[in-house]
Structure 1
Amino acid sequence: MLVLDTATMPVAERAEAFHAIASGESGRCSIEHEDVGDRLWKRLEVWRFGPLTLFATHGSGMRIWRTRNQARVDSTNTISVITQSTGDGAFSWNGYQQRVTTGGLVLAHKTAGYEYGWSGPGLSVAFMVDADQLGLPEHMVRTAIPMVASSSMGPLLLSHIRAVHGDADRLAADPGADAVGEATLDLTRALVASVAGDRTTRRAIAEETLLNRVLAYARAHLADPFLTPQRIAHVHSVSLRSLYRACEEGGLSLEQWIIRRRLEGTRRDLAAPEHAHRTIEAICRSWGFTNAGYFSRRFRDVYGTTPRLWRRRNLPFS
């Protein structure tokens, strides 16, 4: 949901308006903008997913920081995961510095203070949650801050955040929005535990978060025709039996879940004007279907029409 676009505001009010919104949404902070006057531009979108708030900040270069003194006078104790979708970001905390490219993310703890920013046009997507909701000891979170860049869980969480952001308006309005937030927290717990937890903690969190990690991995690899339960089990270092048990306890069939997500993707693309030049077979293959006949049958079974008729109905001039 769009909460601010300074392009529609008087130049003199832009910096103050952005600071007011940023402070209101995430707590006390200091902000320095790279550009001034009519070159200063910020667009801020915010979505709620149960206990989690997702932010997308798009615009000219900036630097935002939170000191420990600022954190002390706030009533909230939050944890954030910050990503950079456009441009290169820079994160610093307690002497630790990290360049944040489009392939990375950082973990920030509000009460510890931190600084984040980028130069030139950029888009940062981040989420924030109360530390209590994450359910991990504070010392573990702080230990993980300079280590998450090396975690094998990072790419999985990053892919998940981008998928949620890409469909945020629809997902935030869906009855399952709270579940999206809980899944994100599970992946964040796994990220922290992977680099800062002891063996017992890592094992416990791995078991608790297995299903959400599996679904996030499957969602990120839907286009791969070789995505199989055997491969998923291997990637997550569990037996096929344990994988199926986790899915059964979660009330789903993994194979059917994958097929349904792929069908949803093809259905969207078939009705999208930007894909009107592509053949139906090309679209179905781009979502991991290797057999056009099988795809057509499953599409008709689920949606009650053929892919061709669905496309014709939604793209009458195709």
Structure 2
Amino acid sequence: MEIPGTERSATGTHYTTQGLPASRRRAYWREALSRTFGAVDMKVGDEVEHGAIRTSLLGPLQAVAVEGEPHQAERSRRLVAASNSDEYVVVKHLSHGTLRVEQDARETHLTTGTLFMYDMARPVRLTVPERFRTKSLVLPRRALGLSESDFRRITAVPLGADTPLGRLVPPLVSRLVDSAATYQAHTGGSVAAHAVSLIQTLVEEQLGFDLQDTPDAARTTLLRIQAYIGEHLTDRDLTPEAIARHHHMSVRYLHKLFELEGVTVHRWIQRRRLDECRRALGRRDARDRSIAAVAHHWGFVSATHFSRSFKDAFGVSPREWRNTAGGTTQP
């Protein structure tokens, strides 16, 4: 249902308290904020003088400019569970004023010029103690390619304040929100894709990834990760997610590194484990160990899968290899 004081057009929606009687502004402002950012509990002052929200679609993103007065917005566990907007994150530039954001056991006080992010999939509280102005991009969570643990590390913190990229992105987000309604549909989609890529890179930089795109830097990082894999081959919990978490990077970036080898992370781990199994099965001092025991030691859960993978890799079965290389034993 439409609320009075709202203007809709082909390019977006404009909410404003201007022209409304003083007695209606408070309820209107609460409803406008809730409709824009998903189900939230709003606390605003008894008197609201001015509030305005302008939204525009930009490809798969929503661009939102807000200016208003002190308030607190809280998205509780109950509201998260009842909402269908938890597939989004909000990247917000605080253009004017101060703000306190609480999410994932962090409470951060932010000042004018700061860029930060919060996740609609989990409880969050924003407290704005004075008149403010923000510019936000609301984007699908999946667009950032982050694991759940990475999302929990990146929310409610200033993004890239001390890096060149961190100084570039906040004003870019602000200008993009201001101009979002002016783009044609195909242009807006392209601009949105580039904006998401920049935000994704900034987030990965914030999480501590080595994102230097020089071949030497990427190769050095890859070699370090491969050495780590070699030291943990017997760990059956050695997954791309665990490796990425240990090296403070996203799974997406980990896979990007292994593209330098022309192989997936999973295939690399499997091949290293197969190499170790072949080496073990060929040693005479390990003849008393069964083939299944060797495979299990090096991280293979299924003996059938191990045998099939071994033959695919080396052209002979584990039993044939052991008989040829190390003498006959019973598997």
C-alpha displacement at 1:74, in angstroms? 1.0
Give the counterpart letter for 2:173 in structure 1.
I
Secondary structure at 1:22's aligned position in 2?
Answer: helix
Q: Which residue pairs with 2:42 in the alignment?
A: 31
Deviations 1:36-68 (A, max 9, x none): 23x442111001101111111112111112122
The alpha-carbon distance between structure 1 residues 20 and 195, as it changes in their structure 2 partners (threshold 3 A), is same
Deviations 1:226-265 (A, max 9, x none): xxxxxxxxxxxxxxxxxxxxxxxxxxxxxxxxxxxxxxxx
Q: Structure 2: how far apart are the matches of 1:162 and 1:139?
A: 28
Q: Structure 2: how far apart are the matches of 1:112 and 1:197?
A: 23
C-alpha displacement at 1:190, in angstroms? 0.8
Secondary structure at 2:36's aligned position in 1?
Answer: helix
Residue 179 of structure 1 is aligned with which of 190, 210, 232?
Answer: 190
Identity %: 16
Is there any run of 5+ residues in structure 1 with no aligned partner, and where?
Answer: 207-318
C-alpha displacement at 1:146, in angstroms? 5.0
Q: Structure 1: how far apart are the matches of 2:127 and 2:181?
A: 25
Secondary structure at 1:111's aligned position in 2?
Answer: coil
Stretches (4+) displaced over 3 A? 146-151
Residue 66 of structure 1 is aligned with which of 56, 69, 75?
Answer: 75
Deviations 1:9-59 (A, max 9, x none): 2223223223333323321101111x323x442111001101111111112
Asked whether 1:6 is paired with 2:6, we answer no
Residue 125 of structure 2 is aligned with which of 91, 115, 125?
Answer: 115
Q: Which residue pairs with 1:15 in the alignment?
A: 26
C-alpha displacement at 1:203, in angstroms? 6.3
Of Structure 1 and Structure 2, the greater helix share is in 1
Secondary structure at 1:18's aligned position in 2?
Answer: helix
Secondary structure at 1:23's aligned position in 2?
Answer: helix
Q: Structure 2: how far apart are the matches of 1:90 and 1:108?
A: 12
Q: Structure 2: how far apart are the matches of 1:86 and 1:146?
A: 17
| 8 Å Cα contact 1:65/1:113 also seen in 2 | yes
Q: Which residue pairs with 1:78 in the alignment?
A: 88
| 8 Å Cα contact 1:85/1:125 also seen in 2 | yes
Q: Which residue pairs with 1:88 in the alignment?
A: 98
Asked whether 1:159 is paired with 2:158, we answer no
Q: Structure 2: how far apart are the matches of 1:177 and 1:87?
A: 29
Give the counterpart letter for 2:152 in structure 1.
R
Is there any run of 5+ residues in structure 2 with no aligned partner, and where?
Answer: 1-11, 216-331
What TM-score, normalized to structure 1? 0.57
Q: Structure 1: how far apart are the matches of 2:104 and 2:147?
A: 19
Asked whether 1:103 is paired with 2:113, we answer yes
Q: Which residue pairs with 1:48 in the alignment?
A: 57
| 8 Å Cα contact 1:148/1:195 also seen in 2 | no
C-alpha displacement at 1:150, in angstroms? 4.6
Q: Which residue pairs with 2:253 in the alignment?
A: none
Q: Larger Rg: 1 or 2?
A: 2
What TM-score, normalized to structure 2? 0.55
Q: Which residue pairs with 1:169 in the alignment?
A: 181
| 8 Å Cα contact 1:5/1:43 also seen in 2 | yes
